[in-house]
């Protein structure tokens, strides 16, 4: 695995104010189809660049790979360079969902050794004025293409066979009560429901590391090594990976295709509140 960056995975407004050279990335995205770029234009943190999740942080969807496969190294490097993110950048990303979507960018960058963190509480916690419109076109960064380490990723076979798989989806989707986007309802047999929203307090800021350790201990996790993180399409699963790292538990693995890939197969599925 790539060594962990020096920057903690979650930082606050005070840290950002003390590091004005950080690249601020707005990664707002909506499962209901709202346009994140339009929301960005209506108001964003000063100087923030917009990073579109489906086109910059994912390859085209397919039944074989799921809704948000990882982009290839060259495509991702080009996207980061266009967003003024380079090999030596320090990146702080946010959204309006407690890091549910910005966490995908932070996880990807940290995986490659780039210092990146979520802004705790996101745009809702920002106390300063917002900027509207597109703003100045950022200077391109220099981002070296490099591949994703296989040791940081889990395959569909891993997700079915590994003893500790976390499913970050909301309980109703985990149970199979409803499935708004994927081919069928339910969850991977044996996966434990660990809704990403439970990493957060009412203000959408992360729980303290001590409280996160208690949360994951209740799920049987005291060390992230060996943990496979899944969700609908490999996005909110990154939130659990970041939360475990923030809690001092180390780094788990991401099942990128997640339920969107699994549900497109004829593998067995489980329903109800229990793993099996």
Query: Which residues are catalytically annotated?
Result: 231
Q: What is the 3-state secondary structure (H, E, C) of 33-80?
A: CCCHHHHHHHCECCCCEECCHHHHCCCCCECCCECCCCCCHHHHHHHH
* Alpha-helix residue ranges (DSSP H) falling in 191-235: 209-218
What are 269's two structure tokens? 């599925």
Q: Burial of 179 by CB count in 10 Å (0-12 exposed, 13-18 middle, 19+ buried)? A: middle
Place of tokens 């970041």: 242
CA–CA gap between residue 118 and residue 176 (Å, rounded): 30
DSSP single-letter state for residue 180? S
**CA–CA distances in Å: residue 240 to residues 125, 147, 168:** 21, 22, 7
- Residue 240 pairs in a beta bridge with none
């Amino acid at each position: 695995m790539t060594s962990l960056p020096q920057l903690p995975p979650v930082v606050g407004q005070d840290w950002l104010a003390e590091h004005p050279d950080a690249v601020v990335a707005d990664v707002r995205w909506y499962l209901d189809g709202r346009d994140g770029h339009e929301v960005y234009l209506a108001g964003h943190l000063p100087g923030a660049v917009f990073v579109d999740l489906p086109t910059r942080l994912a390859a085209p969807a397919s039944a074989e790979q799921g809704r948000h496969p990882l982009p290839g190294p060259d495509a991702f490097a080009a996207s980061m360079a266009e967003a003024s993110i380079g090999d030596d950048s320090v990146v702080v990303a946010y959204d309006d969902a407690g890091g549910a979507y910005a966490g995908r960018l932070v996880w990807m960058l940290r995986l490659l050794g780039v210092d990146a963190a979520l802004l705790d509480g996101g745009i809702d916690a920002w106390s300063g004025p917002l900027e509207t419109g597109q703003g100045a076109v950022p200077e391109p960064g220099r981002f070296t293409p490099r591949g994703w380490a296989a040791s940081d990723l889990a395959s569909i076979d891993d997700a079915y066979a590994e003893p500790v798989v976390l499913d970050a989806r909301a309980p109703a989707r985990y149970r199979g009560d409803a499935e708004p986007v994927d081919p069928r309802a339910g969850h991977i047999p044996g996966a434990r429901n660990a809704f990403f929203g439970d990493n957060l307090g009412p203000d959408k800021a992360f729980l303290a590391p001590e409280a996160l350790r208690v949360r994951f201990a209740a799920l049987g996790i005291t060390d992230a090594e060996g943990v496979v993180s899944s969700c609908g399409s490999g996005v909110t699963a990154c939130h659990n990976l970041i939360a475990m790292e923030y809690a001092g538990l180390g780094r788990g693995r991401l099942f990128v295709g997640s339920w969107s890939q699994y549900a497109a197969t004829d593998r067995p599925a489980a329903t109800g509140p229990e793993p099996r």
